[in-house]
A and B are shown apart, each in its own frame.
Chain A
Amino acid sequence: MTVWLERNLPRMVLAPSFIAVLIFVYGFIGWTAWVSLTRSKLMPRYEIDGFIQYKRLFASPRWDTAMDNLYIFGGLFICISMVLGLLLAIMLDQRIRIEGALRTIYLYPMALSMIVTGTAWKWIMNPGLGIQEMVRGWGYESFTFDWIVNPDRAIYAVVIAGIWQSSGFVMALFLAGLRSVDGEIIKAAQVDGIPTWRIYTAIIIPSMAPIFLSAFIVLAHLAIKAFDLVIALTGGGPGYATDLPATYMYAMAFSRGDLGQAASSAMVMMAVVFAIVVPYLYSELRAKPHD
């Protein structure tokens, strides 16, 4: 008995977590996939009825806006965060005496809730008393910065807050990458009299390709999941001008009572994440077989 127990204890320890993951991750994905194929409204129904929900979804102008916003937000958020993060990392890598303090300052937004970030930026960017009013107070009477209430500009206000929140994290990733480049190669290049900027563009940055990939994955993931930031900053408005897939899904699930739409939009989000993450995870797990 004790021998049997001792032999099977590892499995028994892992089993509850494994079963929980099977049910609450994979089972639930299956449930959502199923419901996305039905005519569920307020209550779930289980008779499969083809791709009607997906047709409705892709015909919905609100979903269109949400996807367009995802491209704008995702594209700008990922690109600018990466460029800014790399720039900050390279600047911090120049033997700065107060590097520790600066790193702390650049990275602290990452510790904050997106709701806190959103609340702060909502106040800073509100046209009535925020930046616009401040600059007008300096004498530039015609200065306008009303992005947050302007339907055509509001999504860019979300981009600003998102970059503020996440670029420090990219900086930390890149800094770690810069520090892990082989010092001997750099020394050799310096001895050969190669200018510093060339050392960066020709040696260091190319050798950090895996870090670029990691940063991209993390940022893309953050962009697709972006929910709290929009809720706190604009509430998805004005109108639904700053809706993202995540806020669309939430609205359908909890305020519109349209489970079919909620499920199908969640599945599309899942598909986007899947397309980005699975190749990455696969290569990670393949490249380093845990022997």
Chain B
Amino acid sequence: MTDIPLSTQTSVAGADRKGWSTIALRWLLFVMLGLFALFYLMPLFVMVTTSLKSLEEIRTGSLIALPRSVTLEAWRTAWSGACTGIQCEGLRPYFWNSVLLAVPAVLISTVLGALNGYVIAQWRFKGANIIFALMLFGCFIPFQVVLLPMARMLGILGIAGTIPGLIFVHVIYGLGFTTLFFRNYYVTIPHELVKAAKVDGAGFLRIFFAIFLPLSLPIITVSVIWQFTQIWNDFLFGVSFSSAGTQPVTVALNNIVNSTTGVKEYNVDMAAAIIAGLPTLFVYVLAGKYFIRGLTAGSVKG
């Protein structure tokens, strides 16, 4: 697990003497950075302002204009009245589906990942590395290749189109990543610790709970945030393995946007999109450091 030294400064700049060209360059730099910030913020700004406008104002006004009169009507419709096909209950039931789906799936895959990582990093036995490699490769497969057999398997298990079925799928295909996180974290803990604990008579589980678990808070955070973002944002599994009533919020959002009944309500679409994006956005703002660590853990391994 590489700790990204985002805060330590070994910057190149700063040694230059202050001249006119340096100052001009500095200004250019700020202008560029500002323009890029606008580029990244613009869609969010447009989403928020559009969601607060009335349909009438959307038709007559400009895309980036601030709302003349703020109305929360679109938000209310998006939450509890918008139509996803024939049903018009808004995002609310699907939002809770996603919560009911994400919470157990995140917890189970993180617990299993922690135990797997602990075994692979500290209790190596013959073949453990091959098992790790096989699991790691599982992170990279395009899920299309397991979609068809999984649909049949869920049918055989009797959990097709249910939330437990989706939890099952997310746990299985999240295991590779959670195992990778914990394995790379635990591998940095000295082996002597386990040896000493064994001499003192502690067993496999005792050592895990007394020594490793207390050290694991950062990596648990990384794993929980990564899994939560993945599962909340998932669309492919959701659209393939859910049925009417058990769809996660991303699928419902797509249905609302593409629902053909009645007038196209852009303000409702935007409010719905923000609602669907809020939980992961919230996690990102709250714990961005750990989010970035999760993102980079799979690619900058050390």
Once the chains bind, are A176 and B4 in contact (CB under 8 Å)? yes
Proximity string of chain A (242-258) to chain B, C-beta cutoff 8 Å, 1 when within and 0 when not? 00011001100110000
B150 contacts A by Cβ under 8 Å: yes
Instruction: State in angstroms the CA–CA spacing of A190 and B13 once bound together.
Output: 10
Q: CB within 8 Å of A: which of B96-126?
A: 112, 115-116, 118-121, 123, 125
Where chain B touches its partner, the secondary structure class is helix
Q: Smallest distance from the beta carbon of A62 to chain B beta carbons, Å?
A: 16
- The SS class assigned to the A binding surface is helix
Chain A, 204-234, contact with B by CB distance < 8 Å: what is the 0/1 string? Answer: 1000001100110110010011011001100
Which residues of B from 104 to 160 have beta carbons under 8 Å from A? 112, 115-116, 118-121, 123, 125, 128-129, 131, 133-138, 140-150, 152-153
State whether A91 and B269 are in contact (beta carbons under 8 Å apart), knowing that A18-B131, A115-B250, A218-B298 are contacts in the complex.
Answer: no
| Total B residues in contact with A, Cβ cutoff 8 Å | 108
Contact of A114 among B46, B145, B233, B292 (CB under 8 A): B233
Complex Cα gap A27–B125 (Å) = 24
The answer to whether A102 and B33 touch across the interface, beta carbons within 8 angstroms, is yes
The reply to whether the CB of B253 lies closer than 8 angstroms to some CB of chain A is: yes
A71 at the interface (CB under 8 A from B): no
Is there an interface contact between B12 and A190, defined as CB atoms closer than 8 Å? Answer: yes
A106 touches which one: B36, B136, B146 (CB < 8 A)?
A: B36
Most chain B CB within a 10 A radius of its CB, from A104, A173, A228, A262: A228
B135–A18 contact, CB under 8 A? yes
Add 14 more A-B contacts to A13-B119, A173-B296 (CB < 8 A): A13-B115, A20-B172, A29-B145, A44-B152, A91-B32, A94-B14, A105-B37, A111-B229, A111-B283, A113-B234, A134-B62, A179-B10, A231-B235, A285-B136
Binding site for B on A (CB under 8 A): 6, 9-11, 13-14, 16-18, 20-22, 24-29, 31-32, 35, 44, 88, 91-96, 102-117, 119-124, 129-131, 133-134, 137, 164, 168-169, 172-173, 175-177, 179-183, 186, 190, 196, 199-200, 204, 210-211, 214-215, 217-218, 221, 224-225, 227-228, 231-232, 235, 245-246, 249-250, 253-254, 259, 262-263, 265-267, 269-270, 273, 277-278, 281, 284-285, 288, 290
